[in-house]
Amino acid sequence: MVSVNNFSIKFDTTSILEDITFDVQSGEIVTLLGQSGCGKTTILRSIAGLQREHGGNICIGDTCVSSKEVYEKNREVGYIFQDYALFPHLNVEDNIAFALDKLSKKEKEKRVLQLLEQFDITDHRKKQIHQLSGGQQQRVAIARAMANNPKILLLDEPFANLDSQLRYKTKIWLKNLIKKYNLSAILVTHDKKEALTISDKIGIIHDKKLLQFDTTNEIYNNPANYYIANFLSEINVLSSEVTKSMNLEINEKQIAVISINKCLLTNEKNNFEVEIIDSSFCGEYYEIVARLKDFPENPNFIIHQKEFDTLKEENNLYLEIKKSEIKIIFK
């Protein structure tokens, strides 16, 4: 449904993004993930037609809508802004109706009523925006974005202004909505957990490039390089001396890593005796920083462990690492 091909953009002489290419199918949720300021929102704005000057092209279906040669305004796109961009001087139903300027008054009233019922905000139709909760404001913003039956939904940090409990509920509701109407959805966030739980595919953007674009499982389990692995999950690095002691072969372009959740402290003797540098109680787990006694050049290990107080610190402590849990990736 959406194809972004060789997309690049500059502001004055500053290059922001280079050669970005990805596709989004109908009914698919794609998340563009990266640190703040990496250019994610610029891609959304360009797909929506709000940012006209860029290299490459953007196609919706079989139609090229944005390139140096072609620029089409009608894109069947619904855009949900991070701050919702609702009009404070209009009430709820008027905010929704604003997107329906091409309909007659009667058709507009009918469509607004449908949307109010669909998004469970009928009781709030006459309220001003400041009278709504964050979750209610978001529903109004989504109703307005869906008013013209778009095929593509663009979401810029859609859960950023919600508390954790409401964020979880809204995420499930929005995911079901996208699947129900078979939309192509592109979501922008810097929250890796949010990306992993809602997406069919993820694209990681860093240093102007799309480093990897793949299914959620594939990109998490087989990251293309160290940056992606470290961005998506907290990891520990194993030095070449450690990998040699475990009979792991890696070349100079590779690095061995293991998730902090796959490391375990124990009193049972093994190859890696440790010295505890620090330990902190974090509610559901202890966060422990440990140094490998026999490999002092290796970076300190971070370990998340449910039980730590039951270990006998007066005895020797050891780090248990399963060889099968180690990932060999590119630097």
Q: Is 70 helix (H, G, I), strand (E, B) or coil?
A: coil
- pLDDT confidence of residue 313: 64
**What's residue 312's pLDDT?**
66
Q: Rounded distance, CA 192 to CA 206, Å?
A: 14
In a 10 Å sphere around its CB, with 0-12 CB exposed, 13-18 middle and 19+ buried, how is residue 141 labelled?
buried
Q: What DSSP string describes 255-287?
A: EEEEEGGG-EEESS--S-EEEEEEEEE-SSSEE
Residue 65: closest CA among 1, 19, 113 = 1
Residue 188 structure tokens: 């922008």
- Residue 13 has a pLDDT of 87
pTM of the model: 0.86
pLDDT, tens only, 248-281: 989 989 999 999 989 999 988 888 999 999 999 9
3-state SS, 124-193, equals: HCCCEHHHCCHHHHHHHHHHHHHCCCCCEEEEECCCCCCCHHHHHHHHHHHHHHHHHCCCEEEEEECCHH
How many other CB atoms are there within 10 angstroms of residue 327's CB atom?
18
Q: What is the pLDDT of residue 32?
A: 96
Predicted pLDDT of residue 256: 95
Q: What is the pLDDT of residues 127-176, one digit of tens each?
A: 999 999 888 898 899 899 988 889 999 999 888 877 888 888 888 888 99
Q: pLDDT, tens digit, for every residue of 11-62? A: 888 899 999 999 999 999 999 999 888 999 999 999 999 888 899 999 998 8
Q: Model confidence at 101, in pLDDT bands (50, 70, 90)?
A: confident
In angstroms, the CA 200 to CA 175 distance is 10
Percent of the chain surpassing pLDDT 90? 63
Q: How confident is the model at residue 310 (pLDDT cuts 50, 70, 90)?
A: confident
Question: CA nearest 53: which of 4, 117, 111, 8?
Answer: 8
- 35 and 190 Cβ atoms separated by less than 8 Å: yes
181-239 tens-digit pLDDT: 899 999 999 889 889 999 999 999 999 999 999 999 999 999 999 999 999 989 999 99
DSSP bridge partners of 330? 225, 254
For residue 71, the SS3 value is strand
Least confident of 85-94, 131-140, 312-321, 322-331: 312-321
pLDDT at res. 314: 64
pLDDT digits (tens, 9 = 90+) for 52-73: 889 999 999 888 888 777 777 7
Tokens 């998490």, residue located: 220
Taken in order of first residue, the domains within the chain and their CATH numbers are: 2-230 (3.40.50.300), 234-330 (no CATH)
Ramachandran assignment for 142, one of left (phi > 0), alpha (psi -120 to 50 degrees), beta (any other): alpha
Question: Both tokens of residue 216?
Answer: 């959620």
What integer pLDDT is reported at residue 138 of this predicted model? 87
